[in-house]
Amino acid sequence: MKMLLLACLTCSSIGVQVVGPLLLSAFVDDAQSDETLNVLFVIAFAFIAISFLQMLLGAIEAYVSADIAMSSTNELREDLTRRLLGLGGRFYDENTTGYLIERVDGDIGLLANFFSEFTVQIVGNSLFLIGIIVVVLSMNLRLGLFVGLFDLIAILVLRRMRSLGVAEWKEARQTNANLFGFIEERLLGLEDIGTNGGRAFVLGQLSSILNRLLHVTRRARRLSNVTFIAISSLFVFGEALALFLSISEYRHHLISIGTVFLLEYYLQLVIVPINALVSQFQDFQAASASISRVEELRSLQSDVANGPGVVFGDDAPKVEFSQVTFGYDPTQPVLHDMTFSVPPGEVVGVLGPTGSGKTSLANLLVRLYDPQTGSVRIAGADIRQADLKQLRDYVGVVPQSVHIFRGTVRDNVTLFRKDHDDAVLIDVLQECGLRQWLERLPNGLDTVLDANDSGISAGEAQLLSIARTMIRNPRVVILDEVSSRLDPLTEESIQCAIARLLANRTAMIIAHRPRTIMHAHWIMLLDGGGIREFGKRADLQGDPSSAFSSVWRLNGGEIT
C-alpha cells in the first residue's frame, strides 16, 4: 500500500518537474508573439503554482520512502538479531559486543539511509530523465535521439563502474566495526585501565586503529571519487554537445527559441538527477559492501545445531555426562573424559580451583557449546536432540554476574515477557526474600531500574536473578558461583532463596567455597578439567581420606 502511494507520488512529482519547463518554453514563445499580457500572467502563475506543488510532493515522497525504508530495515535488524542470538558461544568468543552492534545497527542503518533515498532518487531521477527524452523527442527527433543515446551510454558506463570500490568499502566498514569493538571493550575495562596505568597503551592502540580506518576509508572514497569525476566529465561533455546541436537546429529554423530555451533549461535540470544518480551510485557502492556483510552475517550457521525436539516431562530429570571431552579450541581440551550422573531432583555441588572447568561444564549443559566427544543427557535424552529453545526453557541458569536491564522491576524479573500475573510475580519475589525491598520501591513492580545497577545492591540483584530463574520454572538449575562476592549476611538470605529454587529440581551448584554448596547431595571436585572426586556429600565428608573432607575442614566445617 505504501509502495503504491510512493509510486503515485514519484510519478506525480516527475510529471510536475517535466511540465514546469514546458510552461517556461511557452512563456518565451508567447512573449515573442502577439499574445496579451493576461496569457503571460496565467502561464507565470501556473509555473509558480507548479513549483510549489513540486516541493510539496518532494517532501511527502521523502517522508513515505523513509518510512518504508525504516520499516523494512527494522525487519532485517530483527532477523539478524534473532540469528545472532541463536549462534553458539564460540561465535561470541570471537566477536566483541561493540563489533556486533556496529554490524547489526551500523550496516543496516546505512542501508536504511540508502534505501530511503534510493527509491526516490534512482527511480524518480530515472523516470525524470525518461520524461525529458520523451518531451525532447516530441519536439525534435534528432535532439531527442541524442539525449536518449547519451543517457544510454551513461547508464552503460555506470553499470561498468558498479563494482569499483565495493571491496574497499567493505573493508572500511569492517575496520569501523573493529573500532566499535575496541571502544566497547576498553570502556568496560575503564577502571582497570585507569588504575593500572594502561591509558597510554590503549590510546596507542586506538590511534593505530583510527589510522587504519582513515587509510581504508580514504582509499574507498578515492575510488568512489574517480567514478564520480569520470561520470561527471562525461555529462559535461554531453551537455556541450547538446547545446551545439540545438543551436544548429535553431539556425535551420527546425525549432523555436522557446524550444532552445526549454532544452537549455532541461539540460541544467538534468545535471541535478544525474548528480543525484551518481551520488546514489557512490552510496550504492558503500551499501553493496553493507549488503554483502549483512548477507555474510545472515548466512552464519551456529556450530550448535538445533535438534528435532524431545519430550522432557514435568518431573525433575536425571542429568548425565558420559565420557565428555571438550575444548574451546578442539585441539586443547579443558574437560577430559567426564562421566557422572545426578539423580532426579538432587543437587551436585561442583568445586575446584580457578580454571578447572566448572563453568565449562555448565556451558555444555545449556549447549552454549557441544562436546567434541561423549554426550550430555537430560531425562535420558541426548541434549543435541532437543530443540534449543526447549532446552533453555528446561535448564535455567543463575549467573555469577547479574545484568540489570533498564526497565521496570516486572520487566527485569520476567525478562520482558508479558504473560505473568502481578500476584505470581509478587509471590516469587517474596520467596526470594525481596518482598521488603519491593515494598520500599516508590512504584512497586513498575519502578524503573537502571541498566547500571543504581538503586539495587549486589545482593538484591543476585536475588532478582534467582527470581528470574524461579519464575520460568525450569526443571534443571545451574547456579554459577552465585554468592561468591557477597557479605555473610546477604549470603544468608541468598542461601534461603537458593533453597527454595532448588526444591523439586535437579541442580548443579558451582562454587569456590564449600559453604556455598550446603544444599548439595553430591560433591564433584574438579582438577585440571578432570574429576578428582565424586560422591555423596555425606560419604565424602565422613571419609577423612577424601580431598573434599580436607577442603571442608580447612574452611572451618561450615557445611551442615
Stretch that binds ligand ATP, among 218-226, 256-264, 357-365, 385-393 (CB under 6 A): 357-365
CB closer to ligand ATP out of 114 and 548: 548
CB closer to ligand ATP out of 249 and 527: 527
CA angle 245, 246, 248 (to 5 degrees): 65
Distance CA 4, CA 25 (A): 32
Q: Which of residues 448-477 bind ligand ATP (CB under 6 A)?
A: none
Is 56 in contact with 19 (CB distance < 8 Å)? no
CB closer to ligand ATP out of 355 and 557: 355
Q: Which of 122, 127, 151 is nearest to 16 (CA)?
A: 127
Element spanning 341, H or E: strand 335-342
Stretch that binds ligand ATP, among 308-316, 353-361, 456-464, 497-505 (CB under 6 A): 353-361
CB closer to ligand ATP out of 355 and 380: 355
Q: Which of 36, 38, 195, 354 binds ligand ATP (CB under 6 A)?
A: 354
Stretch that binds ligand ATP, among 56-64, 282-290, 351-359, 413-421 (CB under 6 A): 351-359
Half-sphere exposure of 186 (CA within 13 A, CB side): 18
CB closer to ligand ATP out of 52 and 328: 328
CB closer to ligand ATP out of 242 and 508: 508
Q: Which of 63, 328, 405, 416 binds ligand ATP (CB under 6 A)?
A: 328
List, in order, residues 6 or more apart from 517 with CB less than 8 Å away.
347, 349, 350, 351, 509, 511, 523, 537, 559
Pairing of strands 476-480, 506-511: parallel
Cα dihedral sign for 20, 25, 31, 35?
Answer: negative
Beta bridge mates, 536: 522
Radius of gyration of the chain (CA): 35
What is the contact mask toward ligand ATP in residues 500 to 539, using x (rule: CB under 6 A)?
----------------------------------------
For residue 297, the minimal CB distance to ligand ATP (Å) is: 20
Distance CA 376, CA 367 (A): 9
The residue count for binding ligand ATP (CB under 6 A) is: 11
For residue 524, the minimal CB distance to ligand ATP (Å) is: 12
Phi, psi of 321 (to 5 degrees): -110, 130
Distance CA 371, CA 90 (A): 12
Distance CA 415, CA 406 (A): 11
What is the contact mask toward ligand ATP in residues 63 to 102, using x (rule: CB under 6 A)?
------------------------------x---------
Stretch that binds ligand ATP, among 15-23, 352-360, 385-393, 435-443 (CB under 6 A): 352-360
DSSP class of residue 119 equals I
Residue 357 makes contact with ligand ATP by CB under 6 A: yes
Distance CA 322, CA 364 (A): 12
CB closer to ligand ATP out of 27 and 369: 369
Stretch that binds ligand ATP, among 38-46, 61-69, 137-145, 358-366 (CB under 6 A): 358-366
DSSP class of residue 454 equals T
Angle between helices 199-251 and 141-160 (to 10 degrees): 160
What is the contact mask toward ligand ATP in residues 412 to 451, using x (rule: CB under 6 A)?
----------------------------------------
For residue 87, the minimal CB distance to ligand ATP (Å) is: 14
Give 103: exposed, middle or buried? Use CB within 10 Å, 0-12, 13-18, 19+.
buried
Report helix, strand or coil for 312.
coil
Is 461 in contact with 453 (CB distance < 8 Å)? yes
Distance CA 214, CA 201 (A): 20
Is 544 in contact with 514 (CB distance < 8 Å)? no
Q: Which of 165, 273, 352, 433 binds ligand ATP (CB under 6 A)?
A: 352
Residue 358 makes contact with ligand ATP by CB under 6 A: yes
CB closer to ligand ATP out of 192 and 446: 192
For residue 286, the minimal CB distance to ligand ATP (Å) is: 34
CB closer to ligand ATP out of 262 and 520: 520
For residue 379, the minimal CB distance to ligand ATP (Å) is: 25
Is 462 in contact with 525 (CB distance < 8 Å)? no
For residue 339, the minimal CB distance to ligand ATP (Å) is: 18
Residue 331 makes contact with ligand ATP by CB under 6 A: no
Q: Which of 356, 493, 516, 541 binds ligand ATP (CB under 6 A)?
A: 356
Q: Which of 360, 414, 506, 541 binds ligand ATP (CB under 6 A)?
A: 360
Angle between helices 458-472 and 422-431 (to 10 degrees): 130
Is 143 in contact with 249 (CB distance < 8 Å)? yes
Distance CA 311, CA 379 (A): 9
Stretch that binds ligand ATP, among 189-197, 356-364, 462-470, 498-506 (CB under 6 A): 356-364
Residues near ligand ATP (CB under 6 A): 93, 328, 334, 352, 354-360
